[in-house]
Amino acid sequence: MSKITAEELVESITNKMKTERGKDLKDASDKDLYYVITSIVNDELKPHWLETEKNYKKRNVRQVYYLSMEFLVGRLAESNLLNFGLLNTTNEALERLGFDPEKVYAEEHDAGLGNGGLGRLAACFLDSLASLRYPGHGCGIRYRYGLFEQRIIHGNQIELPDYWLKEEYPWETRKADEAIKIHFGGQVHMFKKNDGSLEFKYENTDQVMAVPYDIPIVGFENQVVNSLRLWSAELATSDEDVAHTTQYYHHLDHNHSIEQISGFLYPDDSSHEGKELRLKQQYFLVSASIQNIIKKYKETNRKSLNHLPDKVVIQINDTHPSLAIPELMRILMDEEHYGWEDAWKITTKVIAYTNHTTLSEALEKWPTAMIQSLLPRLHMIIDEINERFCKEIWLEYPELRNKIHELAIIADNQVHMARLAIVGSFSVNGVARIHTEILKKKEMKDFYHLFPNKFNNKTNGITHRRWLLQVNPKLSDVITDVIGPQWISRPNQLISLLRYSKDRPFLEKIDKVKHENKQALAKFILDRTGIKVDDKSIFDVQIKRLHEYKRQLLNIFHVIYLYNELKDNPNQDITPRTFIFGAKAAPSYHLAKEVIKLINKVASIVNHDPDIKDKLKVVFLENYNVSLAEKIIPAADISEQISTASKEASGTGNMKMMMNGAITLGTLDGANIEIRDLVGDNNIFIFGLTADEVLEYYHNGGYVARDIYNTDDRVRRILDQLNEGWFGTHDIEFKDIFYHILYHNDPYFVLKDFDPYIVSHELVEQSYRDKFTWLNMSVANIAHSGKFSSDRTIQEYASSIWNLNKV
């Protein structure tokens, strides 16, 4: 990397400010500085980007394509500077010019092209692929609107459109000459050729152009720049259409509906109603990406596609891109003239599938009729895959004959995408050990019986470069001071910190950093919300999408319990607590929105009650996104990971907070289990039902929520407060939650886990009182967090699924 000095940077900033922004520095705004900095980074990275691509081509290397409907990349200026080794110099240059670097980078609008964990995982994986020098690229959609922006008004969530492309997005490059045509609808005609083989022709299809926009993915100090290719839907114009004036307005009208395909990101609404536009998006992503992959393959391999599986592997991020299976079959058969068996062999060697959920109600299904009208040829192919699969079970697995209905890809006029993905891929992986075990033993047991070798685990990870080095520079420096900088390229070396876990001066430094981070967050909270929080209080954090299974409700019940206790006994001596929430609810998820309203209501009561004497504060930070996570995580003391056991596939926020020295308070679910295995029972607070117990209750009954309501005074008091309108201005405000718990028998076991949760919190408070015990726990967590670097995860994908070599 060319090492630029701060002086040189000051000079090029000054020049570019004139040539590109037409301004003198003295008149420049933060935004001007932002654009000039991104322009400098772009100048640096473009040659490496070109070189990387040429190199892959020249060596004809095997490549992985990560297909995902979501890439939650957040901001890129700081991470690109960091990976280029320019961050410190740039900060210095900006400061010399009298600018606050943080403010300059904050001018970037988050690329919010994802809902949550699944989308952020995709972004972390791209960072690790490039940083480990693997040839791997992302394929996604360039939504014009990302996930909605959340406002809280009178405690209610209000959704606003996220028009993130309002101002120029400096990281993307449009490649109009690489656009690809996609066909929807129309009719399929079948012809028998002389040799007896079949030929398929499509007529009257609607055509859409997929135009790629590439975003560079910069490896950490290694000259590698991979690509994230995002497809944008545009009208496919032919000259004759446009020349015809009568067609002109028809065109514009049509144009509008076509551009909708990449119009907005669908929120994960946990019911996933079969919306046709969402299906269009999925096919749009899949068809553009696969055609593009084949085109690139042919540029270097020319011959047939027989060797496609040697050069290409496609990882599909959940079932959302699972149409990749029939689409690849279609291209191989209809365009490349392969017979079924050969096409199937190729397809099932190329596609690998990652599952992210065990909630069976969340598995994706599409009405057959919708697929048939929108994608007639794919429907035929899916039908044939299903026929052959069912026949195979019938003939070769007589023990499963009475289960064909539960295994069939098409059943009850619905296409079951997870079943399609399992049958059509060579690898099926879960995202944490317990999750994969539940897939194998419960949720997908019969498929595991059929294909035992396909199933494997890849425990999720997070990029430690963004989630430690970048967001918590102070902690990073303290770490480097004692164990040297090797951990940055080998995060497992964080384990050496254990040698210092009794070293008082070191622990004092850790304490000081955490306190400074908490001061910074306290200031941010004050600026944003007007709430004054005590930076010496315990910062107890739950930040994630709002879902019943994640149980933000349990958390707020605990807060209400503490409040009630303090009201009864205002002089009680407790360690002050600040409860911090961040969560978006899907716009149509009524109960989730009620919980948001409840949290905000409790906040307004608790924060203003003089009896509480500032011992409790509740803060709901609106519009939780990647950038907000980056502010909160370094300041967390307690990481709330309290999902109903068996429900959270993995979680990744748990890893991010652990890496920043927070201590997990959680259930034995998802990756929490692996965190506990590493840090040991003394360095984590575990409570509540286990996954086996939860599943046992589901199958055999035996849990009656009302019994707990009747016997536990604390619980009854809280529920009655909800029911009798203690929290609202009028008495019906939280009846829905009350009824849901008591009349639907508390499906997520909030009441069942209430008491153990309270006990765990009491333990938290006791432990926090002894500063050095706490710091010791904190250091144990940081030290063991190296395992959760996505570098480890990607290493595992590369060696045991992708068979990929570093370049």
Residues with catalytic roles? 356, 544-545, 550, 652, 656
Q: Is 548 in the site for ligand 26Q (CB under 6 A)?
A: no
Q: Are strands 414-416 and 410-411 parallel, antiparallel or unpaired?
A: antiparallel
Q: If binding is defined by CB under 6 A, does position 461 make contact with ligand 26Q?
A: no
Per-residue CA distances from 529 to 543, 580, 600, 802 (Å): 17, 12, 12, 47
The one among 4, 104, 118, 722 contacting ligand 26Q by CB under 6 A: 118
Nearer to ligand 26Q, 125 or 231 (CB): 125
Q: How far apart are CA 661 and CA 785, in angstroms?
A: 9
Residue 794 near residue 132, CB atoms below 8 Å:
yes
Q: Which is nearer to ligand 26Q, 496 or 690 (CB)?
A: 690
Decide: is 648 part of the binding site for ligand 26Q (CB under 6 A). Answer: yes
Biggest CA pair distance of the chain: 93
Span interacting with ligand 26Q, options 47-55, 265-273, 612-620, 737-745, rule CB under 6 A = 265-273
112 binds ligand 26Q (CB under 6 A): no
Instruction: Determine which residue in the list 261, 279, 431, 538 makes contact with ligand 26Q, applying CB under 6 A.
Output: 431
**Residue entry with tokens 């040297």:** 484
511-540 footprint of ligand 26Q as x/- string (CB under 6 A): ------------------------------
In whole angstroms, what is the distance from residue 772 CA to residue 757 CA? Answer: 24
CA distance 307 to 311: 7
Q: Considering the rule CB under 6 A, would residue 430 count as an interface residue with ligand 26Q?
A: no
Residues numbered 346 to 375 that lie near ligand 26Q (CB under 6 A) are: 356, 364
Question: Based on CB atoms, which residue is closest to ligand 26Q, 147 or 636?
Answer: 147
615 within 8 A of 401, measured Cβ to Cβ: no
Q: How far apart are CA 479 and CA 781, in angstroms?
A: 13
Closest approach of ligand 26Q to the CB of residue 144, in Å: 17
Buried (b) or exposed (e) across 630-648, using 16+ Cβ within 10 A? bbbbbbbbbbbbbbbbbbb
Binding range to ligand 26Q, per CB under 6 A, among 116-124, 374-382, 533-541, 596-604: 116-124
Question: Which residues partner with 317 through β-bridges?
Answer: 354
The whole-angstrom separation of Cα 254 and Cα 259 is 9
Does position 651 interact with ligand 26Q (CB under 6 A)? The reply is yes
Reading the block at residue 498, the tokens are 């254990």
Q: Is 268 in the site for ligand 26Q (CB under 6 A)?
A: yes
Interacting residue with ligand 26Q among 649, 655, 686, 804 (CB under 6 A) = 649
Of the pair 117, 321, the CB lying nearest ligand 26Q is at 117
CA pair distance 71, 86, nearest whole angstrom: 25
Q: Which stretch binds ligand 26Q (CB under 6 A): 365-373, 394-402, 561-569, 645-653?
A: 645-653
Residue 535 backbone class (left: φ over 0; alpha: ψ -120 to 50; beta: rest): alpha
Residue 639 Cβ, how far from ligand 26Q at the closest point, in Å? Answer: 14
Nearer Cβ to ligand 26Q (101/670): 670
Choosing from 109, 183, 251, 272, the residue that interacts with ligand 26Q (CB under 6 A) is 272
Residue 311 near ligand 26Q by CB under 6 A: no
Q: Is 74 in the site for ligand 26Q (CB under 6 A)?
A: no
Between residues 366 and 734, which has the closer beta carbon with respect to ligand 26Q?
Answer: 366
Look at strands 136-141 and 63-67 and give their pairing.
parallel
Distance of CA 79 to the CA centre of its chain: 17
The minimum distance between CB 527 and ligand 26Q, in angstroms, equals 30
Q: Is 792 in the site for ligand 26Q (CB under 6 A)?
A: no
The reply on whether position 226 binds ligand 26Q by CB under 6 A is no
Q: Which of residues 656-675 bind ligand 26Q (CB under 6 A)?
A: 670
Query: Is residue 691 a contact partner of residue 499, using CB atoms and an 8 Å limit?
Result: no
Structure token digits, residue 598: 């409840």
User: Binding to ligand 26Q by residue 121, rule CB under 6 A?
Assistant: yes
Residue nearest to ligand 26Q (CB): 117
Q: Which is nearer to ligand 26Q, 431 or 616 (CB)?
A: 431
| Shortest distance, position 467 Cβ to ligand 26Q, whole Å | 14
Phi, psi (deg, nearest 5) at residue 186: 75, -165
Q: CA 64, 109, 145: angle at the middle one, nearest 5?
A: 70
Among 101, 112, 116, 424, binds ligand 26Q (CB under 6 A): 116
Q: Which helix H or strand E contains 430, and what residues bound it?
A: strand 427-430
Q: Any residues with CB less than 8 A from the CB of 166 and at least 6 apart, and which?
A: 109
793 touches ligand 26Q by CB under 6 A: no
Nearer to ligand 26Q, 346 or 415 (CB): 415
Q: Does 115 help bind ligand 26Q (rule: CB under 6 A)? A: yes
Query: Is residue 14 a contact partner of residue 25, using CB atoms and an 8 Å limit?
Result: yes
Stretch that binds ligand 26Q, among 246-254, 418-426, 650-658, 799-807 (CB under 6 A): 650-658
Interface with ligand 26Q, residue 31, by CB under 6 A: no
HEC profile for 501-566? CCCHHHHHHHHHHHHHHHHHHHHHHHHHHCCCCCCCCEEEEEECCCCHHHCHHHHHHHHHHHHHHH
User: In the stretch 583-622, what mask flags binding to ligand 26Q with x, by CB under 6 A?
Assistant: ----------------------------------------
Q: Which is nearer to ligand 26Q, 269 or 336 (CB)?
A: 269
State which residue, 147 or 715, has the beta carbon closest to ligand 26Q: 147
Is there binding between residue 474 and ligand 26Q (CB under 6 A)? no
Q: In the β-sheet with 410-411, what is the strand arrangement from edge to edge?
A: 365-367, 414-416, 410-411
Coil, strand or helix at 387: helix
Window of 49-57, 226-234, 483-491, 646-654 that interacts with ligand 26Q by CB under 6 A: 646-654
Q: How many residues bind ligand 26Q (CB under 6 A)?
A: 19
CA pair distance 329, 471, nearest whole angstrom: 44
Which residues would be at the binding site for ligand 26Q (CB under 6 A)? 115-118, 121, 266, 268, 272, 278, 356, 364, 431, 460, 648-652, 670
